[in-house]
Amino acid sequence: MNSTLQSTVEIRPMQTSDLDRIIRIEREIFLFPWSVANFADSIKAGYVCQVLQQTNILMGYGIMMMSPEEAHVLTLGIAANWQSRGFGKKLLQYLIDYAKSAHAKSVFLDVRESNDGAAQLYKKMGFRHIATRKGYYPAMCGREDALVMQLML
C-alpha cells in the first residue's frame, strides 16, 4: 500500500447508516452473504464492528465477538476493487490489537476450506489451523467444511 493511501485510511465503529453500503459489498464478495439484520444485530449486541474507509469511501468491514478470554472474528470483507492492497491485513491487525488490549488469550475464526486467499492472509498473520467443522457452510453443491483457525496472543 503506498504511504499516501495508508495515511488517509481510517478504521472507525460501524453505524447502522453504513449498512446499505456494507450490504452492497457483502453481496459482491460472498456467495452466501449476511443479511442486513445479521449486521444490525451484531451492532446491537455490542460486538466489535468496524469499518475501514478512505475519505467517504467505505472499503471494508470486520466484526469480532469478545468473550472474557477469547475473541472470535465473525466476518471480514474488503470490497472487490480494493482487495490485495493491504487493507484486509490492516483491518485484521486492528481486531487482533483490540483483542490483545482486552486481554484475550487467543483469537479464533472460521474460514471456508476453499477460501485460499483468506486462509493465506490468516496464516501470514500467525493463525494456525486447529480443527475442522465438517459441512459447516452451505455451498453450491451441498455443504463445505470450515477450517477453525487460532491465533495465540
Ligand X SMILES: CC(C)(COP(=O)(O)OP(=O)(O)OC[C@H]1O[C@@H](n2cnc3c(N)ncnc32)[C@H](O)[C@@H]1OP(=O)(O)O)[C@@H](O)C(=O)NCCC(=O)NCCS
Residues that bind ligand X (CB under 6 A): 29-30, 76-78, 83-89, 111, 115-118, 120-121, 124
Cβ closest to ligand X, residue 75 vs residue 104 = 75
Longest CA–CA separation in the chain, Å? 45
Strand partners, 150: 108, 128
Cβ closest to ligand X, residue 63 vs residue 68 = 63
User: Shortest distance, CB of residue 74 to ligand X, whole angstroms?
Assistant: 9
**Closest residue to ligand X in the complex (CB):** 88
Cβ closest to ligand X, residue 29 vs residue 103 = 29
User: Shortest distance, CB of residue 111 to ligand X, whole angstroms?
Assistant: 4
User: Shortest distance, CB of residue 68 to ligand X, whole angstroms?
Assistant: 24
Cβ closest to ligand X, residue 70 vs residue 115 = 115
* Phi, psi torsion values for 13, nearest 5 degrees: -60, 140
User: Shortest distance, CB of residue 104 to ligand X, whole angstroms?
Assistant: 19
Q: Measured in whole angstroms, how far is the alpha carbon of residue 119 from the centre of its chain?
A: 12
What's the distance, Cα to Cα, between the start and end of the chain in Å?
A: 26
